[in-house]
Chains A and B, each alone.
Chain A
């Protein structure tokens, strides 16, 4: 049996993927170049803008936002002030702002792509059947693998970092949007139909408002996943806290690694609680 198996030559899957990638890279090189140059310029200017805000004002803004977003409770606001002051004190402020920009862009792009895809899947069984396995594939493929095409397409720096993060973080938004809309009760949809609402009205006035909390939960997951990926993206030159973590790892500096790691945790908690609190709002 094993003899028979050994007679099958190794299928050239890897070579085929390389060829397709090369074709892709060459065909769309102008588009990629454009996205890379303009994307980098845009993100750099956002980062510079964030850095130019005096940290103390930035921290107070976050605290005020946290205070009102969490229903006038002091918990998260105080945590934000202490946490962000700690990051500033450890001279990681600039890195934090870089990471913030990356997460912001990756999340926005993932949401812009993800919600329409989710709506499409909820409306069409065919799309659902096609996209589901692709999402499974995206979520189970190790995140590091996305760094390879990202470099081929967009070189090094912030843009390939966002590209890899979007692929990695997209699925929850798509899945939860799909799920949320599919869970809207049939009676309500029928009622909307009987009032003669158009498909678009039904979507905007009935389905999306009812599915909102599920969709927001998906977005929250996407934001956190993109945060974990922008750290890995530092391997291809994305700046930010991830670079500090990687450098500490490569140089085996426990202390630096811990400080950068804890800064990421603080940032993640603030982002997580803020996006969750948006979800609790009464509509």
Chain B
């Protein structure tokens, strides 16, 4: 019985402290805030870099920005429903064609934010094979993939159907991180490996890699990364809309941020550093902001 009193009194102390904290007011929001913006992204190295940079720029002009990492399909759905305000991760025309078809009607496409992107099957340069059509049974007839929901995985599955020499091959889903680890291990042991690759990506700066030729054109040609926002954004946050519309940078810019993050810098810090060093580019994005 006595024990119980102790418990009750400690709970009472706790509750009173909670109330005291309440009285202090939990004003985590800035008074000059233009409002809340929620950016969705997928934890791919490219999107971690771009989303953190854009998010930081929006923070700097006075928005309260939250970044939500999601699975690819859910990211598209979230923006189309207005759960998230925007994303800068739409790979077109081929990679995310399926998602664009499904959710595109309820999205505003603000055009490309990076051109010269590419997806395909990637191998270390020491492998003799140069074309998908020439693959036989390398790497145990297995392609090392990334998250099952990614567009490149669908494209690779299509390639397994379209290339007759790949009909006994399998695609192994993992994650973007696990894929780069597998790549690193294989290169360290000079083993064969075929991965689902895309650029811009730091792996091309770190290792000697090559894309396999794609005579059937399954992976499409050059890709662009596009910005999509919810249909409500222009009304809700016109200034953010302007910045997202103007947001555009090069593969070199992105790779700088990616490399820093890959070398262990926190994404937020890497983004802030890049912004500091590239004020001229950032000024173009925020030129129309009042």
Enumerate chain A interface residues (CB-CB to B < 8 A): 45, 48-49, 51-53, 57, 61, 64-65, 68-69, 71-72, 151, 155-157, 234-237, 243, 246-253, 281-282
Chain B residues within an 8 Å CB radius of A48: 26, 28
Interface of A is mostly: helix
**Pick the contact of B6 from A68, A151, A155 — CB < 8 Å?**
A68
**Across the interface, do B78 and A64 meet the contact criterion of CB distance under 8 Å?**
no
Q: Closest Cβ of chain A: how far from B244's Cβ, in Å?
A: 19
- CB interface residues, B 12-55, toward A, < 8 Å: 13-14, 17-18, 21-22, 24-26, 28, 40, 43-45, 48
Smallest CB-CB separation from B176: which chain A residue? A250
B69, CB-defined interface residue at 8 Å: yes
**Across the interface, do B74 and A282 meet the contact criterion of CB distance under 8 Å?**
no
**Pick the contact of B177 from A53, A65, A156, A251 — CB < 8 Å?**
A251
User: CA of A221 to CA of B28 in the docked complex: distance in angstroms?
Assistant: 34
Chain B residues within an 8 Å CB radius of A246: 43, 69
**Across the interface, do B78 and A156 meet the contact criterion of CB distance under 8 Å?**
yes
Chain A residues within an 8 Å CB radius of B24: 52
> What are 19 A-B pairs at a CB distance below 8 A?
A51-B28, A52-B28, A53-B17, A61-B10, A64-B10, A65-B14, A68-B3, A151-B74, A155-B81, A156-B40, A156-B68, A234-B69, A237-B40, A243-B69, A249-B177, A250-B44, A250-B147, A252-B177, A253-B177
Q: Closest Cβ of chain B: how far from A210's Cβ, in Å?
A: 19
**Across the interface, do A247 and B43 meet the contact criterion of CB distance under 8 Å?**
yes
**Across the interface, do A61 and B177 meet the contact criterion of CB distance under 8 Å?**
no
B132, CB-defined interface residue at 8 Å: no
Chain A residues within an 8 Å CB radius of B78: 151, 155-156, 237
Interface of B is mostly: helix
Enumerate chain B interface residues (CB-CB to A < 8 A): 1, 3-4, 6-7, 10-11, 13-14, 17-18, 21-22, 24-26, 28, 40, 43-45, 48, 68-71, 74, 77-78, 81, 83-84, 147, 175-178, 180-181
Chain A residues within an 8 Å CB radius of B180: 252
Chain A residues within an 8 Å CB radius of B71: 235-236
Q: Closest Cβ of chain A: how far from B184's Cβ, in Å?
A: 9
Chain B residues within an 8 Å CB radius of A156: 40, 68, 70, 74, 78, 83-84
User: CA of A237 to CA of B43 in the docked complex: distance in angstroms?
Assistant: 12
Given known pairs A68-B6, A151-B74, A155-B81, the reply for A249 and B22 (CB within 8 Å) is no
Chain B residues within an 8 Å CB radius of A234: 69
Chain B residues within an 8 Å CB radius of A71: 3
User: CA of A250 to CA of B42 in the docked complex: distance in angstroms?
Assistant: 9
Q: Closest Cβ of chain A: how far from B232's Cβ, in Å?
A: 13
Chain B residues within an 8 Å CB radius of A57: 17
Q: Closest Cβ of chain B: how far from A164's Cβ, in Å?
A: 13
**Pick the contact of B26 from A52, A157, A252, A253 — CB < 8 Å?**
A52
Given known pairs A48-B26, A157-B83, A252-B178, the reply for A65 and B43 (CB within 8 Å) is no
User: CA of A45 to CA of B84 in the docked complex: distance in angstroms?
Assistant: 19
User: CA of A53 to CA of B19 in the docked complex: distance in angstroms?
Assistant: 10
Chain A residues within an 8 Å CB radius of B176: 250-251
User: CA of A234 to CA of B69 in the docked complex: distance in angstroms?
Assistant: 8
Beyond the given pairs A57-B17, A237-B68, 14 more chain A to chain B contacts, judged by CB atoms under 8 angstroms and listed by A's residue number, are: A48-B26, A52-B24, A53-B17, A65-B11, A68-B7, A155-B81, A156-B78, A235-B74, A237-B70, A237-B83, A251-B45, A251-B177, A252-B177, A282-B1
The 7 nearest A-B residue pairs measured at CB: A252-B177, A155-B83, A251-B177, A52-B26, A250-B43, A68-B6, A48-B26
Given known pairs A65-B11, A250-B175, the reply for A281 and B4 (CB within 8 Å) is yes
**Across the interface, do A157 and B10 meet the contact criterion of CB distance under 8 Å?**
no
Smallest CB-CB separation from A247: which chain B residue? B43
User: CA of A151 to CA of B75 in the docked complex: distance in angstroms?
Assistant: 11
Q: Closest Cβ of chain A: how far from B23's Cβ, in Å?
A: 10
User: CA of A234 to CA of B18 in the docked complex: distance in angstroms?
Assistant: 27
User: CA of A101 to CA of B13 in the docked complex: distance in angstroms?
Assistant: 20
User: CA of A250 to CA of B181 in the docked complex: distance in angstroms?
Assistant: 11
**Across the interface, do A65 and B10 meet the contact criterion of CB distance under 8 Å?**
yes
Smallest CB-CB separation from B179: which chain A residue? A252
**Across the interface, do A249 and B175 meet the contact criterion of CB distance under 8 Å?**
yes
User: CA of A101 to CA of B233 in the docked complex: distance in angstroms?
Assistant: 29
Chain B residues within an 8 Å CB radius of A65: 7, 10-11, 14
Chain B residues within an 8 Å CB radius of A281: 3-4, 7
Q: Closest Cβ of chain A: how far from B183's Cβ, in Å?
A: 10
Q: Which of A45, A49, A151, A237 has the most CB of B within 10 A?
A: A237
Given known pairs A156-B78, A250-B176, the reply for A49 and B22 (CB within 8 Å) is yes
Chain B residues within an 8 Å CB radius of A53: 17-18, 21
**Across the interface, do B21 and A52 meet the contact criterion of CB distance under 8 Å?**
yes
Smallest CB-CB separation from B261: which chain A residue? A251
Chain A residues within an 8 Å CB radius of B3: 68, 71, 281-282
User: CA of A69 to CA of B181 in the docked complex: distance in angstroms?
Assistant: 46
User: CA of A237 to CA of B75 in the docked complex: distance in angstroms?
Assistant: 9
